[in-house]
Structure 1
Amino acid sequence: MTILRQPTRAGVRDAAAKVAAVVPQTPLFVLEIHGVKVSFKAECLQPIGAFKLRGAWHRLTAIEPVQREKGVVAFSSGNHAQGVAWAARRLGMPATIVMPADAPKAKRENTLALGAEVVSYDRATESREKIAARLAEARGAVLVPSFDDPWVIEGQGSAGIEAAAQMATLGLGAPSRVVVPCGGGGLAAGLTLALPEATITVAEPEGWDDMRRSLEAGWIEPVGDAPPPTACDALQTLRVSPLTFDVLARRGATGVAVSEAEIRTAQRWAAEKLRLVVEPGGAVALAAVLTGKVPVEPGLLVLLSGGNVDLAAYGAVLAGAG
């Protein structure tokens, strides 16, 4: 019987050491909300504009050197794509990314600029998982999922190790509650392992809040048919994985959903108060805090997970459209 590897806190600490050796820590901003100091981890300031390089780097560096020449295959709407492409280029590995045809132009162009091959698909009629699996098998490459992978989960959790150390340095104590954007749950699961004493709250767009519903039900609930349109391209995961769900469920994590209007308000708030560009999917945790869906309390840590915006759409948000 094959025993699948499980993500662990020790793995998260190993990933944190790996990541610290190749990129600087992302800043931690502290701002008062209702008189309480709240910490904001700015993963939008990563070299690829999102936290995803953490999991990609931890995963790709775990691949045996003899296997690396055959490369990796991943599927993503953009941020995981860039993380894998960034890590593969640094390691001299070929990378192929399966991306939806309607992926944001900037994310597609950035992935290509990092040297990856991009294979397009129709997200409404085709399965990115099946396309990627076929490509990986045909090429003998390693398949690197965006969240359903123990190394990827551990890598994303390295953000929590960093944030906790930064909060301690600033005299803020340990994180007591972490609010985190959630698509497939890789970042949320990694933070859960990294910060075992903290309460975890995942935030998702309305209609795409399958992790919230799954945690409430006690089993995995898919998004369902005909989900509503959302600006959060990074969070359009139709079904979370048992791997991420189990980590979160065991820790009693909970979830909240935010509207498209609340997300836009959060983007504007981040620009005005933090001077940060945050993409819609990266702003859902902030939206949950600003709307009062998550209590503001000492030790609150909010993840701003990405900043890869479409400039035209972002300009409209800043102008107050919607």
Structure 2
Amino acid sequence: MSAVPSLTEFENAAQSLAEVITRTPTLPSRALSDVLGAPVVLKMENLQRTGSFKIRGSAYRLSQLSAEERSRGVVAASAGNHAQGVALAAQTLGIQATIFVPLGIPVPKLLATRSYGAEVVLEGETVATSLRLAAEFAERTGAVIIHPFDHRDVVIGQGTLGLELLEDAPDVDTIVLGIGGGGLIAGVAAAVKAKAAELGRTVRIIGVQAENAAAMIPSLEAGYPVDIETKPTIADGILVARPGAIPFEIIKDLVDEVVTVTDDDLARAILVLLEQSKVIAEPAGAVGVAAILAGKVKASGTTMAVVSGGNIDPLLLQRVVSHGLAASGRYLTIRIPLPDRPGQLARVSELIAQAGANVIEAMHTRHGHGLQISEVFLELSVETRGAEHSEHTLDTLRHAGFQPIVVPD
């Protein structure tokens, strides 16, 4: 059997999933088109059942189990989206599912997984621990492990998205989407390249990873999957230290380019999607948009960015929006040392108003920060119109003799 699934396999999988998944919309993005200088459309897999593309691979994988395997139940480990996909697919097919999740799983993902009828085991600090516990459970009970990305059926299920992409945007030239373990991009690349070849055209596939969890680039350089030491990132959905072996064999031949984005890029992308497109995306789901905004994608006809998931914790969304405003230069926190005498606060407020900025929050203290007895610190959160306006506001204060210190977000 070829490592790369055939177009027929993808088409058969799409047919079998028709009653399980939602046909998500594709919408144009004027804001991103202006940034790229070419048409950009968004594929809204954040509106998929369970809030992400994961249901495609999970449902197809479970549909291929034999009656004997189904009777043993399934087990999976996940920080959220895969857990929900397996839980819903198992509920639909009447299969008992046990899902191991780390203690830090976002509460909405935990509650959703339980609502689909799975037995959820909350234990361990990381997904790696959850994976180990799931493997031990499978050995002990005989349950079938449903891997989030490193299985051929999962790749085929995820690849059904690729067929939709070409149907929704027949003129697409470039598709941009995220890479974690590689199941989604492997499936999409294989399906798209095969269908495009049948239509006598080519489509470029660009993968995007979080800078702090970018295992694919060194793996491609080495020619085989390698482990990396990941660092914290808000894109927990693609926080994977080693690509899957099965997806990697497809990616190395069919994915045209892999780029990385920072957490600041992701925060800006979530903010742009929220403000300009009225779309809620989780960080891992916004990596394609982040790559466009960060200048990592060059214009080449119509570009499609896959918004692959929307399961973001409201508390994280609140923090990300604040961070995105700061990263875009629209939210500024400054600390100003002042002599402890009347009128200083009013003078600073007047100057900020003259600069056209807006004070959101203020804190005036005589304590800490190594202050002298005759000094105070004024800390202000200021809303501005962007990086240039932020600098103008700071310059206005400096020209008046104050020494504003920008506080990192």
Report the TM-score when normalising by structure 1. Answer: 0.91
Where do residues 15-164 of structure 1 align in structure 2 (5 Å cutoff)? Answer: 15-32=13-30, 33-34=33-34, 35-124=37-126, 127-164=129-166
Distance 2:145 2:205 in 1: 29
- The equivalent of 2:206 in structure 1 is 201
C-alpha change, 1:128 and 1:36, in structure 2 (3 Å) is same
Give the 3-state SS of the residue equivalent to 2:180 in structure 1: coil
- The equivalent of 1:296 in structure 2 is 299
Give the 3-state SS of the residue equivalent to 1:36 in structure 2: coil
Contact 1:53 1:82 survives alignment (8 Å): yes
Structure 1: gaps spanning 5 or more residues: none
Encode CA deviations 1:266-307: one digit per residue, 9 max, x unaligned: 001111122110001111111001111011321312111100
Paired AA for residue 16 in structure 2 = K
Alignment partner for residue 247 of structure 1, among 226, 247, 250? 250
Q: Please tell me the root mean square deviation across aligned C-alpha atoms, in Å.
A: 1.9
Structure 2: gaps spanning 5 or more residues: 194-201, 327-408
Paired AA for residue 146 in structure 2 = V
Paired AA for residue 10 in structure 1 = T
C-alpha change, 1:233 and 1:251, in structure 2 (3 Å) is same
Distance 2:213 2:145 in 1: 25
Distance 1:315 1:252 in 2: 34
Shift of 1:21: 2.5
Distance 2:9 2:266 in 1: 33
- The equivalent of 1:307 in structure 2 is 310
Shift of 1:215: 2.0
Deviates more, 1:147-156 or 1:95-104: 95-104
Shift of 1:105: 1.3
Alignment partner for residue 233 of structure 1, among 214, 231, 236? 236
Give the 3-state SS of the residue equivalent to 1:39 in structure 2: strand
Distance 2:317 2:271 in 1: 9
Contact 2:102 2:126 survives alignment (8 Å): no
Distance 1:135 1:124 in 2: 17
C-alpha change, 1:105 and 1:205, in structure 2 (3 Å) is same
1:213 maps to 2:218: yes
Shift of 1:254: 2.0
Shift of 1:154: 0.7
Distance 2:141 2:301 in 1: 50
Deviates more, 1:310-319 or 1:99-108: 310-319
Report the TM-score when normalising by structure 2. Answer: 0.73
Give the 3-state SS of the residue equivalent to 1:178 in structure 2: strand
Distance 1:271 1:161 in 2: 27
Shift of 1:52: 0.3
Work out which structure has the larger RCO, using CA pairs closer than 8 Å and 6 or more positions apart in sequence.
1
Distance 1:55 1:89 in 2: 15
Give the 3-state SS of the residue equivalent to 1:63 in structure 2: coil
